[in-house]
Chains A and B, each alone.
Chain A
Amino acid sequence: SQQGEEDPQALSIQEGENATMNCSYKTSINNLQWYRQNSGRGLVHLILIRSNEREKHSGRLRVTLDTSKKSSSLLITASRAADTASYFCATAGAFGRGTSLIVHP
């Protein structure tokens, strides 16, 4: 299975701190995507990193990819209460259980 697995399952931080979430997957990939989901809603695409890229930035988001370790990380800098959500990685349409992030004001 291509399924990604996020780590940690839950993360609780204070506003202004950085949040780091990790993702591991099992087989070779063409690209890896990160998504965000607010409670009970659909997932929203955040960022895509291709297999030949090692790092990508989008606003306060920074994604890294290590294909030798089959892992990726999502860093959210200077977190805000509005960042509270679940975050998922996906490879070839397969998603993990997600990381539940709570940012306290």
Chain B
Amino acid sequence: ETGVTQTPRHLVMGMTNKKSLKCEQHLGHNAMYWYKQSAKKPLELMFVYSLEERVENNSVPSRFSPECPNSSHLFLHLHTLQPEDSALYLCASSQEAQGISYGYTFGSGTRLTVV
């Protein structure tokens, strides 16, 4: 257990469904991140929240909607996804100082399959 917990571990959803991924960190970090990992591609940074404010959104389609209600919790709301959105979604947290991180702690990921 890394201190970053993601649920669910596996999710299969239809293209018309709405679901949410949850991430919780118990490390007292001040920044949280969503990454997408697809086969044979670099890890894609999707969203960054620092001090609960979204500071980065890397041209992610609007069918992905993040939410960070407090510094310990991060959600990724999913709706009307496409099959190409099937991937491993990783949450991470870190302690940032002046915008610089000295190490990310990752959760185990949610394996998402869109059918």
Stretch at the interface among B13-21, B64-72, B74-82, B99-107: B99-107
A33 vs B102: C-alpha distance when bound (angstroms):
8
B106 with A30: CB separation less than 8 A? no
Most chain A Cβ neighbours within 10 Å, of B6, B33, B92: B92
- Closest chain A residue, CB of each to CB of B9: A40
Q: Determine whether the beta carbon of B4 is less than 8 Å from that of A42.
A: yes
A94 within 8 A of B: yes
Q: Which residues of B contact A88 (CB under 8 A)?
A: 43
Nearest B-chain residue to A95, judged by Cβ: B43
Residue of A nearest to B88 (CB): A40
**Once the chains bind, are B42 and A96 in contact (CB under 8 Å)?**
yes
Q: Is the CB of A42 within 8 A of B106?
A: yes
Interface: A43 (CB within 8 A): yes
Question: A60 at interface (Cβ–Cβ under 8 A)?
Answer: no
Q: Restricting to B37-67, which residues have a CB under 8 Å from any CB of A?
A: 40-43, 45, 48
Find chain B residues with CB under 8 A from A56 CB: none
Q: Contacts A30-B100, A93-B45, A97-B41 given: A44-B111 contact, CB under 8 Å? A: no
Most buried by A among B41, B102, B111: B102
Q: Can you report 25 A-B residue pairs in the complex whose CB atoms are below 8 A from each other? A: A3-B42, A31-B102, A33-B104, A40-B88, A40-B109, A40-B111, A42-B6, A42-B106, A42-B109, A43-B43, A43-B90, A43-B92, A43-B104, A45-B103, A45-B104, A45-B105, A48-B103, A88-B43, A90-B104, A92-B101, A93-B33, A93-B45, A95-B42, A95-B43, A97-B41
- A residues near B (Cβ < 8 Å) are 3, 30-31, 33, 35, 40-45, 48, 88, 90, 92-97
Residues of chain B having any CB pair with chain A under 8 Å: 2, 4, 6, 33, 35, 40-43, 45, 48, 88, 90, 92, 100-109, 111
